[in-house]
Amino acid sequence: MNHKKLYLIPVPNKITLFDIDIMIRTDDKATQELHDSKYYGCFQGGADGREILLDNTQNDKEFSDTFIHETLESINGIVLDSRLPHNTLTIIGHAIHQVMEQLGIRFVKKPKITASRD
């Protein structure tokens, strides 16, 4: 069994890409919107601003993977004019998530410092 430390990093309320603020919502309303659409996460944006919605019912490992994926979606939308196909972003996101897990880093919805790996 692997007993390495796992650093749990709370997802912030906002990230910034090239001076563009992206709000991050993990509230129950965001989760309900996602459940209605059958998604675990979503990047959306327009004239009103940009935001990432994350399903707060996922376990920490799934939540971290979804945060990474939606961050890539936001980079694709803002920086690359959505040129990368969704499947490519999914593969890259899973790869980054695997590396982060190997490094002992996980993004979570609850403020924590360390815990054991799943």
Residues 15-49 have pLDDT tens digits of 999 899 999 999 999 999 999 999 999 999 876 78
What is the torsion angle, in degrees rounded to the nearest 10, for the CA atoms of residue 98, residue 64, residue 66 and residue 97?
-10
Residue 47 lies in a domain: yes
Residue 79 lies in a domain: yes
Domain count, the chain: 1
The closest of 2, 12, 5, 1 to 107, measured between CA atoms, is 12
Composition of the chain by helix, strand, coil, percent to 5? 40, 30, 30
Position 93 scores a pLDDT of: 98
Between CA 95 and CA 99 the distance in angstroms is: 6
Residue 46 lies in a domain: yes
Residue 74 lies in a domain: yes
- Domain of residue 34, residue span: 6-115
Q: What are phi and psi of 80, to 5 degrees?
A: -105, 10
Confidence (pTM): 0.87
